[in-house]
Amino acid sequence: MQPDTTTDFLIIGAGFAGLVVAERLAAAGWRCVVADRRPHIGGNAYDEVDRAGVLVHRYGPHYFRTNSPRIVEYLSRFTGWREVAYTIKSFARGRFWSFPVNLNTFEELIGKPATTADFENWLAQAREPHEPPRNSEEVIVSQVGRELYRLFFEGYTLKQWQRHPRELDASVCGRIPVRTNRDDRYLTESFQALPDPGYTAMFGRLLGSSPGIDVRLGMDYAEARARFRYRHLVFTGAVDEYFGYRLGALPYRSLRFEAESFTGGGLAAREPVSGKPGFWQPALQVNYPEAEVPFTRIVEIKHATGQQVDATTIVREFPADWQPGGEPFYPIPAPDARAAYQAYAKLAEAEQRVSFIGRLATYRYYNMDQVVGMALAEAERLVETYGKGGG
Ligand code: FAD
Ligand code: UDP
């Protein structure tokens, strides 16, 4: 096929990485084509209203959080925010637990009221020192000891990654806070909020503000490359796929989502469990660390979106193996996987006029705000290299 159209930048992937780069380049006067093989924009952060009328996150819950005022300022050009205290619970031994581990969890464990000092004394006995922790087992047992590690982390991590916590970087489980007060928020960042009224709406406004961006959905890289002549490629898909898996496929974990909606009587019957009319479970997210349960968590996103609607939707998340052609949701944060990636990183560095950014192209377990930061930095670099476009 002969290329039939020219553009300045061809951008593969319409997720956070691709759309932020496109917006910045378009603002600098460059023409951009953004191609995504999926039929929608937003990448894994895509949200939509389901058949029950509930706003859901199609690819698992996306809790926006950041410590960076610059990233909030940038995204606020395209969205308002709804502040959310993301609260979750863990379900084990037949009951709900306060999670992440905090003073309430300790009281639940010992079955009586306690103080921060009591908990700290208990932890001083329970902790197994590892300085610095070298993996995800050490990072947790050095903070809370083996009993709470077994209760909340070991089984969940094995299910999620099909690897023992000892074989995963300390940063994987280390991102879950441990507190000796009653602060039970899941996250620690200073800004925790969801775009209001949603991620897809935010991306729609980003694109609406940038007439220089031509979005092609349902188009993969091979087709886009054949159709467009361009001066520079920004690739946000998987780096091993870009190189035709020539050094072998990198390891990923995938997920299967099972949604279920409830209305009327079905929902009313759940009130003794949820404690709130109109909701199915008592918190936004309930984690299931036990091996006998095949899923890792159930998310009821209506708790966070604040959507006023009678129905509710819950989504069960089942970890799954990944093969080429499947959805590579998680790069594996472990030394062997990183070493395999390094070989691809060398190939990527040698590519002329190609940028590799985002979670898949850099094979990093990045949150959304980190990807936005990376995209803003790359766009700045490109404008420095190529100057301003012709409008
Ligand atoms: P993606 O969103 O994956 O977008 C890449 C896009 O490229 C996709 O749309 C894909 O279809 C397209 N693409 C890939 N290859 C090709 C190709 N060859 N041709 C055409 N198109 C292609 N982050 C948080 O900050 N908070 C959270 O709570 C959170 N929860 C998460 C939960 C889950 C289950 C997952 C999987 C991730 C979560 N994340 C969360 C991470 C977040 O999804 C990412 O940081 C962010 O979406 C990365 O953006 P991206 O543009 O790099 O990649
Ligand atoms: N984790 C766990 N038990 C939990 C929650 C998390 O063992 O109840 C571990 C697990 O290995 C998980 C990691 O901590 O992959 C990070 O959890 P997070 O909820 O941040 O995962 P994500 O939302 O990125 O899937």
Ligand 2 atom at minimum distance from 61 CA: 23
- Final residue in a domain of this structure, among 120, 143, 174: 174
* pLDDT tens by residue, 180-213: 999 999 999 999 999 999 999 999 999 999 999 9
* pLDDT averaged over every residue in the chain: 97
Question: Which residues form the pocket of ligand 2, taking CB atoms under 6 Å from any ligand atom?
Answer: 90, 152-153, 156-157, 160, 172-173, 175-176, 287, 289
Domain check: are 343 and 244 in the same one?
A: yes
- For the CA of 153, the closest atom of ligand 2 is 7
- Expressed as residue numbers, the domain containing 123 is 101-174
Q: Is 369 within a domain?
A: yes
Strand order in the sheet with 65-66: 65-66, 191-196, 80-83
Q: Does residue 163 sit in the same domain as residue 24?
A: no
How far apart are the C-alpha atoms of 304 and 78, rounded to whole Å? 20
Whether residue 167 is found in the same domain as residue 209: no
In a domain, 295, yes or no: no
Domain boundary among 174, 207, 232: 174
**Domain contains 299:** no
135 belongs to a structural domain = yes
Pocket of ligand 1 (CB under 6 A): 12-18, 35-38, 43-45, 59-64, 220-221, 236-237, 241, 255, 329, 358-360, 366-369, 371
- The 10 Å Cβ neighbour count of residue 311 is 18
Identify whether the C-beta of residue 48 lies closer than 8 Å to the C-beta of residue 26.
Answer: no
Rounded CA-CA distance 226/180 in Å is 57
**CB atoms < 10 A from the CB of 292, how many?**
6
Ranking 2-16, 67-81, 246-260 by mean pLDDT, the lowest is 2-16
pLDDT, tens digit (0-9, with 9 covering 90-100), for 92-107 = 999 999 999 999 999 9
Cβ atoms of residues 358 and 17 within 8 Å: yes
Residue 133 sits in the same domain as residue 170: yes
| Nearest residue by C-alpha to atom 11 in ligand 2 | 157
Whether 326 is covered by a domain: the verdict is: no
Helix H or strand E encompassing 331: strand 330-331
Together in a domain, 162 and 209? no
Q: What is the pLDDT of residue 59?
A: 98
Domain total of the chain: 2
Burial class (CB in 10 A: 0-12, 13-18, 19+), 290: middle
Mean pLDDT, range 334-346, rounded to an integer: 98
Residues 164 and 123 in one domain: yes
213-256 per-position pLDDT tens digit: 999 999 999 999 999 999 999 999 999 999 999 999 999 999 99
CA pair distance 130, 137, nearest whole angstrom: 10
Of all protein residues, the one whose alpha carbon is nearest to atom 38 of ligand 1 is: 62
Q: What CATH number did the domain enclosing 347 receive?
A: 3.40.50.720
- Tell the residue number behind the tokens 């709804």, with chain if given: 82
Q: Are 200 and 143 contained in the same domain?
A: no
Residue 189, in any domain of the structure = no
What is the rounded distance in angstroms from the CA atom of residue 268 to the CA atom of residue 125?
A: 45
